[in-house]
Structure 1
C-alpha cells in the first residue's frame, strides 16, 4: 500500500481568520467552544440517558456509501455509546445526528440535543443569518467515513479523541473516480496508487485534529475523516452564497446548487437529443460539446 503525499493544513489564530477571504482548509485556534471540552462518556450518558438515536452500524471500519456496507440502527444513546466504546467487538458505530423529522427538517444540535446544548459555544465565524445546520457526531475508534463534499462552508469543532482528515480541492474532482457525486476511493491510509493512479494528480491536505481544534472546511472541498480513537465533534454549516442558489429541499447541506442542477439537466437533455444520430456523428457533436466546456473551464481559471 502507498502513502499519499500531502500538505499540512495550516493553523491560524481566530483573530486573524476571516471566512469571507479564506478559501482553503484551516485549523482555527483560540476559539471558545464552551464547557464541552470537559465532556466524558459517563457525563453524556448521565445527561442523555436512553434518548433515541439512529446510527450507522458496520462490520467494516471503512464506511462506504456506494456500495453501502452499513445499516441504520436505532438505540438508546447509552446503549449506542456502550457499543461505540467497545474496541473489541469487530463492529463500528457512527452517529450523525438528525432532526426529529429528518426528511424535511434541518438538524440543529441545539434543538436536537437540548440536554447538552448549553455546554457548546459556536465560534462566531459567520453571520448568524447565514446559519444552516449543526450536527452532533460520535464515532467508534478507527472508523473512517466515505470521502465526500458538502455544498456549504462548515467548521468541525473537535471535542473528544483525535481525528485524521484528508482534504482535496474541488478542481480534483476529475481525479477522484467520482460516480454519482461520490468518490469510489476508500481507505485512504492504505490506498493503492497502482489501482488509483489519478490520486497522484491530486493536491491532498492533511491534519490531525486534537480536542479544541476547529477545522474550517470550504464548500466543495472533498474530505475523508477517520476517528483515530473514540471521538466526538460538532459540525456547523452556513450559507456563504445568496440563499436562492441553494436547493430549498436540501436538509443535509450536500445537494447540488440550483444553477448546477439546471446545467446538468440541460446537459443530459442535450446528449439525449443526439440519440437519433449515427454513432460517428453523435460522437462528433459530443466531442464538440466537450471542446466548448474545456474552453469555458480555461476561461474561468480552471486547468
Structure 2
C-alpha cells in the first residue's frame, strides 16, 4: 500500500481484505438488538428531499436525536417499503447492469468506473442520482415536516457518528460502539499512532451525501449494503463551486444547472466506484466525493481517517478531518489581505499587479503551465 497505492494519490478500491466478522454479522436484527441500543442516543440528519440528496450548502436537513434502536428500525422499515414498492433506491431509473449482483444503476455517460486496481474505463448508461428514500415511519412519528425547507418526499436518514464529547473529541468507534469495533478488523495500512478518527455511517436507501473533500487520507469500509461513490480530482475545486469544504453539485453533466454553476462546464467526468460489502475505498486527501446508498437496502460503513503528514500540519481542534491545513489557512488570510490592497487600485494597476502576483505564485510553487 505505501509503495504502490498511497504515492499515486488516486482513489483505489481494495478487495479481499480481512475485515473480521462484521460484514456477515451486522444484520439489521443484530444492530437493533445490541446491548444498550434502546438507550443509546444518536443525532441523525433527516430530510424529505425527493431526490434523497442532503445539501450541506443549502441545509435541507435537520438534526434529530433518537435512540440507536429506533434508527435501525426506521432504516429497516424503509428498506422493506422500498422492496414492496419496487423502488430501486439509489438508482437513476436506469436499468441495472447486466449480471450485476445488486440492483445498482449503470454509470452515467462519461463517468469512469473505478476498478479494484484504481484504473478506470469509460462507461455508458443512465444517470447516477437517487429515486429518494422512504419515510419508514410505520407507527413511528415523522421526524421533520413536509415543506419548503426539508422537501415533500419520504424521510431519508443519515448517521455520522461523533465523539463521546463532540466538542472536544473526534469520532471513535471503539469508544462509542465497542461491540461493533470488536467485530471489525481495520486494515493495517497506516501506523496506529496516526489514527485520527473512526466514523460509523448508517444511511437510508437512496440517500445521497453532498460533495466534499477531506484533508486527511481515509478508508471507506463498506460493511453492509452497497454504495456508489463519485470522485473528482482536487483540480476541480474551482469548477465545483466549493463553499468551505463542500460543493452544491452532486451529479455529473448534464444534470447541474450551468447557469447557476457556469464553471462546472470545465469539470471532467468523475470517476465512479461501486462498493459491495467487504470493499474498501482508499480516498486520498483533497479528492472530492459524494456517496449514494444503492440497492434498496440500508447501508453500514466505517470511515477511518489518519494523519499522513506530520501532526503540526493539522489543527488540533479539527474533529472532522475537513479543516484546511494550518499553513493553508494562513495563506488564505494573506490572500484576503492582498485582495483588500489590490482592490483599492485603479483598474489597470489592479490588473497589472494582480497578474504579476499570480505569475509569481505559479512560478515559485511550480504551478505554471
TM (norm. structure 1) is 0.87
Q: Does 1:266 align with 2:266?
A: no
Query: 2:201 aligns to what?
Result: 137
Q: Does 1:291 align with 2:359?
A: yes
Which one has a larger percent strand, Structure 1 or Structure 2? 1
Instruction: State the 1:129 CA deviation.
Output: 1.4
- 1:106–1:180 distance in 2 versus 1, CA, 3 Å: closer
Instruction: State the 1:281 CA deviation.
Output: 3.0
2:68 corresponds, among 69, 74, 77, to 77
TM (norm. structure 2) is 0.72
Query: 2:46 aligns to what?
Result: 57
Query: 1:25 aligns to what?
Result: 11
Deviation per CA, 1:87-131: give whole Å up to 9, x if none.
Answer: 332000000000121121111111111132211110101111111
Deviation per CA, 1:227-282: give whole Å up to 9, x if none.
Answer: 01310000101111111111111011010011111111111112223344344433
Q: Distance in 2 between matches of 1:49 and 1:285?
A: 61
Residues 175 and 202 in structure 1, CA contact (< 8 A), matched pair in contact too: no
Residues 245 and 322 in structure 2, CA contact (< 8 A), matched pair in contact too: no
Q: Does 1:146 align with 2:210?
A: yes
Query: 1:42 aligns to what?
Result: 29
Q: What SS is found at the alignment partner of 2:42?
A: strand
Residues 99 and 112 in structure 1, CA contact (< 8 A), matched pair in contact too: yes
Which stretch of structure 1 is more off in the superposition, 102-111 or 274-283?
274-283
1:92 corresponds, among 125, 136, 156, to 156
Query: 2:305 aligns to what?
Result: 237
Which stretch of structure 1 is more off in the superposition, 236-245 or 193-202?
193-202
- 1:199–1:133 distance in 2 versus 1, CA, 3 Å: farther
Q: What SS is found at the alignment partner of 1:178?
A: coil
Where does structure 1 lack aligned partners over 5 or more consecutive residues?
1-13
Instruction: State the 1:80 CA deviation.
Output: 1.4
- 1:152–1:212 distance in 2 versus 1, CA, 3 Å: same
Aligned length: 287
Query: 1:215 aligns to what?
Result: 281
Instruction: State the 1:17 CA deviation.
Output: 7.3
Q: Residues 105-254 of structure 1 correspond to what in structure 2 (within 5 A)?
A: 105-188=169-252, 191-192=255-256, 194-195=258-259, 196=261, 198-199=264-265, 201-228=267-294, 229=296, 230-254=298-322
- 1:20–1:247 distance in 2 versus 1, CA, 3 Å: same
- 1:76–1:216 distance in 2 versus 1, CA, 3 Å: same
Instruction: State the 1:132 CA deviation.
Output: 0.8
Instruction: State the 1:294 CA deviation.
Output: 3.7
Q: What SS is found at the alignment partner of 1:175?
A: coil
Which one has a larger percent helix, Structure 1 or Structure 2? 1
Residues 23 and 224 in structure 2, CA contact (< 8 A), matched pair in contact too: yes
